[in-house]
Structure formats: C-alpha cells, structure tokens
Amino acid sequence: MTADEMSIIGWAGSGAMALTGRPDGPPSAAPAAIASSASAAASDLAAMTGRWGRRVEVDAPALLGERAALAGFTRQGPISVGGACRFVEASDGYVALNLPRPDDVASLPALVEADVDQDDWPAVAVALAALSAATVVERASLLGLAASAVGEVERPVSPARELSRGGPRRVVQRPLVIDMTSLWAGPLAASLLAMAGARVIKIEGTRRPDGARLGPAPFFDLLNHGKEMVEIDFDTVQGRNLLVALMTKSDLVVEGSRPRVMHHLDIDPAEMANHGTSWLSITAHGRDGRHANRIGFGDDAAVAGGLVVPGEPPLFVADAVADPLTGVAAAAIAAEMLGADRTTVVETPLSRVAAWSRGPEISADVREIAPGRWAAQVGEKRVQVAAPRCRPLGARAAATDADGAAIRREFGGSHQ
C-alpha cells in the first residue's frame, strides 16, 4: 500500500474528512496527508511520555474532529465549520478573515478604510477586493483581527523551534506543569501531559478566564478535567508573586500569550530556563519577528500554513485544524522536554505546525453510498468516511479557582 493510500485511509477514518469540502458535495480527500502527520506526532508523544511517565497513546487524527462532534458542526466549504472565519478575495489572492467577536465585526469599516455598514457584507467584500492580501493581513494585525493569506508560512522540517537553552533540568518523580493556555491547542497539550502522570495546574486571569468556558461545557471538560485550577489577578503584587512562585517551582510552563504579556509581567522565559524551568510557547505566529504580537486562531492559522483545499475560493480543512494538530505536536515536544537533561525555551506556533503537517495534495474517488454517507476508493478497497467523534467524557473540569486556596498555601501568596 502506498503512503498516499495509507493517508487516505487515516483521513477518511478520522472524522475530519467529513468536515472538509463543500456542503453540497463530497468530502475532500485533498488534505489527507495531515492524518499521517498527526499520527507521527502521536507516535512521538507515546515514546516521549513513556520515558518518564505513563505512555500516552491517542488516535491523533480522530482528535481533529472532537469539537465538531460535540457541537454538531458540519462542513461549510469557504466558511469555517464554526462559522466565524471565511475566505475573502483580495486583489491578488485569498485571505482567511476570522471574526469570532462582535468587536471584530465592528472593526470592518476600519479594515477597509471606508464608510461601509459593518453588516453589509457584499459592500465589505468589494472594498476588500481592492486591497492586496498583504495589506489586508497587515491592517488586520494592527486592528487586532485574525487574518491570514493562503500559504504564508513555508513548510518547516520540524513543528517546533528552540529559542534558547537553559541550565540543568531538575530530576523529579512527578513533573509539575503550569498551564497558562486557553481555548484548544494548549489545553489539549497540557491534558495529554496530565494523562502521562504530570501534575498540571491551570492558571486563569481574574479578568480573563479561559474563553472555552463559554463554549460547549463537555469540550472544556474534555480538555481540562484532572487539572488543578487557580485564578490569579496579575495586576496585584500578590498575584504576580504567586505566579512567579508557581513558575519557578515548576518543571515546565506551557503558555499561549503574546510576548508583550510576559514582558508586562516582567517575566523572561529564557531566565526561567536558566533557573530550572522549561518553557513551551504556543502562539499563532511565533514569539519573535514582525508577527510576534499578531493574533490568530485555529482556522486562520491553518490557512497561513497552507492547509486549505485549493479552489476559487479555497475551502477550509476540518475544524480549526491547526489547534488540535498543534495540541498533539506540542504535547510530544513537551514530553521530550520533561525527559531532557537541560531546560529549553521552545515554540510551536499554530501556523508553523500547520505548515509542517501539510503534504502533497491527494486525490481519491469519493462517492455517496447512501444519503449523507460517503466512501473513498483506495485501490480495490472502499473506505467509508467516518463522522466526527469524541473520546469518552470523563470527569468534569473543576471550577475557576477551585484549588486556589490550597495552591496559595502550598506556593505562598495570600488570597487576592
């Protein structure tokens, strides 16, 4: 069996293929190579967690459709399955424009620099078509909007990039991981480390808790159950002291904010690594360079990495696919960091992971075998396209600050 055929089988069985393609046509086999990339990351995760804890084995391609399975999402072609991101045509190509918040929509007149009604999408589209893709992305970044041109990021050799190397790593029986991430990629990575036996403490800001708490509760539970929860007010001296105490006593910080956030808190990841704490950064576009403070989410970051079904317009691949791909890849990297001799600062940006995971476009004959049911022809075998599915739901995630009092007693810091 060829590599392409194996990729198609993995893609068809993942549940993600069912989320990819036009709603009035067959699911698309084109991005099937990412199923193999996801499986490779899962193999690394199993090997690395087995070095210091319980060996974690997951069906990584199936993780790509978990949120859709819980939320009831279906494929929408040039609109993301979650509905917030869409392809818009610029003068020289297509841009994925993500508008998940009311304030994002209100910024559309500023984006096109024209007096248009923010709700008049045809007028907005005409104005966008007069701009280059680079201009749309640049203006969006300045306005705090998430937008990406197709294939901005070249395919790297690795999903991760080492930013600096620190001192000797502490040898502990059970590693302590600080989870300062939100939404999907980071929480998934930290949850996989918890499955391996790490102690994971999730930190949420008093003024900015994890936005995923507002989404489907079962999905938040899936990614966060088993973690200790503490809420910290970063604007207070007590809060910052507790944060630093937690970080310096931890073996790994998994963090997902833009660099300016840590700079504001006077926390330097490289210094943390020098004092025994490794640091894994999960941002949209990386911690340095001109895109360091650019925001992004799973759908638009995937487009930046070239994960699209080509066409006029292109089509989205699965559901915010850069998020779960990064979650698995980051977990494998984090597990390796927890077993290394020295501390490091490493980043796994969503757009980089998306670019790493893509492969050659793959074609397959996909036919409807019953109303709403499809199958891909792979050699002499017909492989049914599976619906998105979710792992069995375990315990509920703890409430915000459920473990705050105990954590303050253990690590120092009075109640805020």
Residue spans of the domains in the chain: they are 3-74+154-365+388-411
Residues in the chain: 416
Q: Which CATH architecture has domain 3-74+154-365+388-411?
A: 3-Layer(aba) Sandwich (3.40)
- 225-283 pLDDT, tens digit each: 999 999 999 999 999 999 999 999 999 999 999 888 898 899 999 999 999 999 999 99
Report whether pLDDT(291) > 90. no
- 61-103 pLDDT, tens digit each: 999 999 999 999 999 999 999 999 999 999 999 999 999 999 9
Which position has the higher pLDDT, 246 or 215?
A: 246
Nearest to 363 by CA among 27, 15, 18: 27
Please report the pLDDT score of residue 416 as a whole number. 47
Residue 29 neighbours by CB under 8 Å, 6+ apart: 8, 11, 12, 17, 362, 363, 364, 366, 376
Give me 364's structure tokens: 């397959």
Which position has the higher pLDDT, 374 or 264?
A: 374
Mean pLDDT of the chain: 95
- 48-70 pLDDT, tens digit each: 999 999 999 999 999 999 999 99
What single letter denotes the amino acid at residue 242? L
Q: Is 250 helix (H, G, I), strand (E, B) or coil?
A: coil
Distance, in Å, from the CA atom of 321 to the CA atom of 301, rounded to the nearest integer, reads 9
- Alpha carbon of residue 297 to chain centroid: 7
CA–CA distances in Å: residue 240 to residues 190, 207, 279, 287, 412: 22, 14, 18, 22, 11
pTM score: 0.96
Distance, in Å, from the CA atom of 185 to the CA atom of 351, rounded to the nearest integer, reads 12
Distance, in Å, from the CA atom of 133 to the CA atom of 177, rounded to the nearest integer, reads 39
Please report the pLDDT score of residue 413 as a whole number. 58
- Alpha carbon of residue 401 to chain centroid: 24
- 397-413 pLDDT, tens digit each: 999 999 999 999 999 85
Please report which residue ranges of 17-100 form alpha helices under DSSP H. Answer: 33-52, 60-63, 66-71
Q: What is the mean pLDDT of residues 138-150?
A: 97
Report whether pLDDT(129) > 80. yes
